[in-house]
Amino acid sequence: MDGEKPQSFFCDWSQVGSANVTGTFVKLPAAKADADHYLENGFTSAAGSLDAGASIDMQVRVAKEDWTNYTQTGDYSFNAVDTNYVDWTKSPAYVSGNLIWGSEPN
């Protein structure tokens, strides 16, 4: 358990401009199995729109404000097996509030 510590989001690069990628840490109203907070990524209007079937890359970092390590083994989306990019259903994605990819923690 990582506890209640403020966190910071950094977007280092994206095709839409790093300043146009947002990150907000949200506490779940009720903790779920292996999840009590999530990171919500979004985009400013200056990022433009994304055509159906298109994608972008984002290079982002997150850190606790005191720079202590995270304990990943209890995190819902943590994948200790793969060392390359893979489709990972434990990273749900939403468009306009509708789940379009993955699954939420139980």
Contact (CB, 8 A) for 92 and 104: yes
Per-residue pLDDT tens for 40-52? Answer: 999 999 999 999 8
Whole-angstrom distance, CA of residue 79 vs CA of residue 14: 23
pLDDT band at 2 (very low <50, low <70, confident <90, very high): low
Within 13 Å, how many C-alpha atoms sit on residue 94's CB side? 11
Per-residue pLDDT tens for 80-95? Answer: 999 998 999 999 999 8
Per-residue pLDDT tens for 19-76? Answer: 999 999 999 999 998 999 999 999 999 999 999 889 999 999 999 999 999 988 889 9
Contact (CB, 8 A) for 87 and 55: no
